[in-house]
Structure 1
Amino acid sequence: MPAAAILDRVESSMERTVTVSEAAGRVGLTAHTLRWYEQEGLVEPVGRDSAGRRRYTDNDIGWLILLTRLRRTGMPVRDMRRYAELARQGDGTLPDRVALFEQHRARVLARIDELREDLAVLDYKIDAYRKEMRRTATP
C-alpha cells in the first residue's frame, strides 16, 4: 500500500486511533514486536499520522489480539503469515482458513492432552510429598 494511502486511511477515518506504545500495551506485546509483525506481513501496514507515526485502529487492535492468541497457542509464524495472506484475499479463502484453523486446533488439543498428563504427574508428586510430610511430622 503506498504511503499516501496509508496516511489517508488514518486521516480520513473518524475512528479513534492509538499510538504504537498504546497498542502494544493493549495487546500485551512490545512496540518492537508490533513493528516486526508488520515487517513480517502478519499485519497490514497500519495508518500513520501527519508526522509519520503509526496509528492503530480498533480493527488493528482486534487483529493483533487474534495474532497473540494464535501465537500463544503455539501456531508457527509461517502459519500465522499464511492465515494473514488468506484473510487479505477475501471470502474466497474461507475453506482454506477453516482448514488451517482445524489443523491448528488438533495440535492445540493434543497439547492440552499432554499438559493434562503432565499435571497428573505433578499432582501425584505433590500428594506423595504431603503424605510423607504427614508421616514424618513430629507430634
Structure 2
Amino acid sequence: MKIQSVCHLTGLRKATLRYYERVGLLLNIQRDPSGHREYDPNQLDWIALVKRLRETGMPASQIRILARIRNEDGKNASEGCRILEAHREKVERMLKETMTHLRVLDEKIHFFKQKSKAGTNEKN
C-alpha cells in the first residue's frame, strides 16, 4: 500500500508518516524497487494507535518503546501494558479536568443568556 493510500485512510500527512518512521514510531516500513514506501495493510491499526496516542499527548519516546515491544512479538508485553495503563490514567485525569472546564463554561453561558434576556425584557 502506497503512502498516499495510507494518508487517505488515516488522515495523516505524508510528512507525518515519514517523521513517524524517522523517529522510530513506525518500524519495518518496506520499500518497493524504486525506493518508495510500501506499507503493509496490517500496519494500519498500529498507525491508527500511534495517531491516537499522539493526539492524547503520549510522548514520542514512550511510543517508540511500544513500537519496539510490538516488534519483539510480546517479549516485554508487561512493560507495554504498564506504559499504556499509565497513559490511560493521564488521559482520564485530563478528561475529568476537561469536564470541569465544560461545566464552568455551561454556567457562564447560562449566566450570559439570563443577562441577555433581562436586558431584552428591560427594553420592552
**TM-score normalized by the length of structure 1:** 0.83
Shift of 1:112: 0.4
Aligned to 2:67: 84
- Within 1, Cα distance between the matches of 2:97 and 2:49? 24
Aligned to 1:41: 24
Instruction: Kindly provide the amino acid, as one letter, of the partner of residue 104 in structure 1.
Output: H
* Matching of residues 121-136 of structure 1 within 5 Å: 121-136=104-119
Shift of 1:100: 0.6
Aligned to 2:84: 101
Give the share of equivalent positions with the same residue, in percent: 30
* Matching of residues 49-68 of structure 1 within 5 Å: 49-68=32-51
Aligned to 1:4: none
Could you list the runs of 4 or more consecutive aligned residues of structure 1 that deviate by over 2 angstroms after TM superposition? none
- Within 1, Cα distance between the matches of 2:75 and 2:36? 33
Over the aligned positions, Cα root-mean-square deviation in angstroms equals: 1.2
- Within 2, Cα distance between the matches of 1:119 and 1:53? 46
Shift of 1:90: 2.1
